[in-house]
Amino acid sequence: MKHYIFYILAIFAAVSCTQKVTDSEIFNGEIKIIDDTVKSIVEMQGKEIILDGITYGIPAVYDSLLFFHIDNLPDAFYIVFNLKTGKELGYFCPKGQGPGEVRYIFPINHLYRENGYLKAFLASPYNFIYVEWNISKSIETGKTVWDFIPYDWRKKHDSEFPYSHIMRLNDKKFVGRVQPLCLNPDEFCTLSTAPSFEKCDIYDDTLIKKYPIYKKTLKREDSNRLFSAFPCVSPDGNKIVQFMTYLWQINTINIETGEIVGYRKRNTPDYLYLNNFMESSQKRPLYFIGDAVSNDKYIFVTNMNGKTIEEYNDDYIVHVFDWKCNVVKKLKISKERKFGCIFLDKVNNLLYTFSWVTEKIFCYDLNSVGL
């Protein structure tokens, strides 16, 4: 009899601990169910890029310039290469605590041209500054040329950690992704703030608008990571598009109106599934991984199709979306399986892959597949 009572209590406890949540309780907008109508996959052949120097870190590319953001260099954060020659052009963004140096700087999210100069807008979290790096002048002179713009993040957020992604809208404004903050680190971060976006003035540090994507987080281990997603901004600067890692879901945010819409593939997991998934992160199905990269017409992002890290043995498939979040093509990157990340040269319409395992870089001509 005692065993029977214990069994009943155990079932009751298990049911009670399963938190029932709906999409509307979590997501701060409408979720639309969509179909993936693109069934065929185009296999691409890549060309390996050989560089004469250190090839690891987080890459970015613009025309003939390739950048590697590297944390553990002794005196700098970036190495720049000439893709035409394969030669190093120099080490930039000096590391340190002296004049003109930074203790840390985030990787490049996007590159832009202004008054004929190639530039990047970055954040240095421990120096409490934004940085506008004039890349053209830096390469021309062989020394880092950048402007420091102070901010007072701690007054607004009670934190020393600024935006994890910064996307410059124009010479006065940018959109930043607010990094989720763990509220109970001693309990494996079962509680955290929800990730969101903010539009700010670059020079006077004014918060212009907040974009709260979520109403609350999920009360689970590592809950902040369950909301992880990779953003990009539309060419007209009016929309943020965000691809989720643990759901086949694309979130869009209208920068002017603040309207939020989610697009989820039919018959794929929802927030209730995420909330009740009790396996380790290694066994959690993955969807969109790595940073999304974009040009004026398309967005490129890798999709693992709901497989786990342990079971994934296929070539990665790059999904190509238009800016209305429709899948228009799927690309099989045949040359380098598990390549780690993709990056895009908008000038020459070339897609690059980089593997942190093999440290190999491959280049794919998007014109060859009608993109």
Is the per-residue pLDDT at 334 higher than 70?
A: no
Is the per-residue pLDDT at 40 higher than 50?
A: yes
Q: Model-level pTM?
A: 0.89
Is the per-residue pLDDT at 216 higher than 90?
A: no
User: pLDDT tens digits for 131-188?
Assistant: 999 999 999 999 999 999 988 766 666 655 667 788 889 889 999 888 777 777 776 6
Residue ranges per domain, the chain? 21-369
Contact at 8 Å (CB) between 211 and 198? yes
Contact at 8 Å (CB) between 310 and 360? no
Residues 6+ apart with CB under 8 A from 130: 121, 122, 123, 124, 148, 149, 151, 166, 202
Residues 6+ apart with CB under 8 A from 208: 173, 198, 199, 200, 201
Kindly indicate the confidence band of residue 19, based on its pLDDT and cuts at 50, 70 and 90. Answer: low
- The reply to whether CATH 2.70.98.40 applies to domain 21-369 is no
CA dist 217 and 226 (Å) reads 9
Phi first, then psi: give them for residue 133, nearest 5 degrees: -95, 120
Surface-to-core class of residue 142, CB atoms within 10 Å of its CB (0-12 exposed, 13-18 middle, 19+ buried): exposed
Contact at 8 Å (CB) between 340 and 56? no
Q: Minimum mean pLDDT among 69-78, 109-118, 237-246, 354-363: which range? A: 354-363
What's 15's DSSP letter? H
CA-wise closest residue to 324 among 259, 258, 250? 250
